[in-house]
Amino acid sequence: MMWNQFSWKAALATVALAGAVTFHAFADEIHPPPASRKLDDDDRSGTPFMHAKLAATHQIVDGLAFESFNQIERGADELLRMTELASWKVRRDPIYMHYSADFESTALRLRKAARARSIEKATFAYMHLTVSCTACHQHVRNVVQMDPAPDATAQPTGQTVFR
């Protein structure tokens, strides 16, 4: 059976949305958003900020699932607003900066797709956003690390090194 271009896109969008909705449902059960904490609270773990990003992406997924372009746009706007906060700029290494710029341009594409009322473009932008987030988080967790102090009495240098 030959799939036309629309059927292929619809099938891919359905699979992506099903996976994203399932992921967000489990993420909310495992790590419920904190009650009424501000994004600029001094929390070195980044947990409140991460929960705010997840809430915005959940809004986008809901918008994609129900074809609510206003909801998709609001979620993209929230993500773009977060990229302007100091909490966003946790690293200054070139790879992190690349991921950050990619995230911002993809969020802009997502907002543009929502304004154009294109569910296909919005879905693909969301998928790209998710891949970008995952890759960046993997980079921050597994590649960027603090340089250990030369001896036990010395203070850490705080320099970023790469493996």
Residue 27: which CATH number?
1.20.120.10
Number of domains in the chain: 1
Between helices 69-82 and 94-115, what is the axis angle to 10°?
Answer: 150
Go through 51-85 and write b for each residue having 16 or more CB atoms within 10 A of its CB, e for each that does not.
bbbbebbbbbbbbbeeebbebbbbbbbbbbebbee
For CA atoms 82, 84, 85, 88, the dihedral sign is positive
Task: Answer yes or no: is 80 within a domain.
Answer: yes
Tell me whether residue 56 is in a domain: yes
Which pLDDT does position 4 carry in this prediction? 56
pLDDT of residue 109: 98
What domain range is 71 assigned to? 14-32+46-145
Mean pLDDT on 37-41: 45
pTM given for the model: 0.63
Please check whether residue 40 lies inside any domain of the structure. no
Find where tokens 């690390």 sit.
Answer: 145
In a domain, 159, yes or no: no
**Which band of pLDDT confidence, cut at 50, 70 and 90, is reported for residue 16?**
low
Q: Report the C-alpha gap between 71 and 51 in whole angstroms.
A: 18
Cβ 8 vs Cβ 123: under 8 Å:
no
What is the pLDDT, as a whole number, of residue 8? Answer: 53
Q: Tell whether the torsion through CA atoms of 15, 105, 41 and 93 is positive or negative.
A: positive
| DSSP label at residue 31 | S
**Any domain includes 151:** no
How far is residue 102 CA from its own chain's centroid? 11
Answer whether residue 154 is part of any domain: no
Using CA atoms, how far residue 130 sits from 2, 7, 8, 60, 115, in Å, is 29, 23, 20, 11, 20
Instruction: Please indicate, yes or no, if residue 140 is contained in any of the structural domains.
Output: yes
Residue 102: inside a domain? yes
